[in-house]
Amino acid sequence: MQFRHMATGLVVILSLAGCQRTAYDNASYSQPAPLTAQPVPSVQGGQLPPPSGASQFPAAPTATAPVAGGQPGAMAANAMDVTKESMVGSWRVNGSCDMFLTLTNLGSGSRGGTRGCVGELTAMGSWEVSGKQVILKDRSGNQIGSVYKTADNAFSGQTNTGQPISLSR
């Protein structure tokens, strides 16, 4: 029995001996010596060989047919009625990026934005419903494009510069 008490006491003493405060004393701490510079080989200049394989530039995108009338904001004759509430949520734009529309007021419209889009759509900051159209605006409130409802959960239109826009869920 006495051996057990002695062993327990020894374990307690050893565990307490391992508990000591470790802190740096600023007086005993010194900065390491700076590294010495290494030699660098000389830089050579010259003309690169031409790229092998395909053309230097990718093929230009093909133009799609403009919206009826060819003017930004022009609607097709078969445009369906649209409500602001039906637009709220996430939309896939041109099959390649996302548009998010909320009912939070922002200026004369509602807050909205895009992720992963290119062109004018990167500046989208708000939107509003006007008749059968959904007007897309930049962060300053200027119209950058519009879409109209072509089917349930499908919209079509273009930006002011003619970039086609198709929204789908």
Closest CA to 108 of 126, 121, 123: 126
Q: What angle do CA 75, 80, 82 make, to 5 degrees?
A: 100
pLDDT confidence of residue 72: 43
Mean local confidence (pLDDT), 151-158: 91
- Cβ atoms of residues 66 and 165 within 8 Å: no
DSSP the chain: -HHHHHHHHHHHHHHHHT-------TTT--PPPPPPP---PPP---PPPPPPSS-SSPPPPPPPPPPTTSSTT---TTPBP--HHHH-EEEEETTTEEEEEEEEEETTEEEEEEES--GGGGGEEEEEEETTEEEEEETTS-EEEEEEEEETTEEEEEETT--EEEEE-
Longest Cα–Cα distance in the chain: 103
According to CATH, what is the number of the domain 72-168?
2.40.128.10
pLDDT confidence of residue 75: 55
CA dihedral 85, 100, 74, 66 (to 10 degrees): -140
Does residue 136 register a pLDDT over 80? yes
Enumerate residues 6+ apart whose C-beta is below 8 A from 33. Answer: none
- 46-75: pLDDT as tens digits: 887 776 655 566 666 554 444 433 444 455
pLDDT confidence of residue 6: 83
- 96-106: pLDDT as tens digits: 999 999 998 88
Map out the domains of the chain as residue ranges. Answer: 72-168
- 76-120: pLDDT as tens digits: 567 888 988 989 999 999 989 999 999 988 877 899 999 999 888
β-sheet bridge partners, residue 138? 124
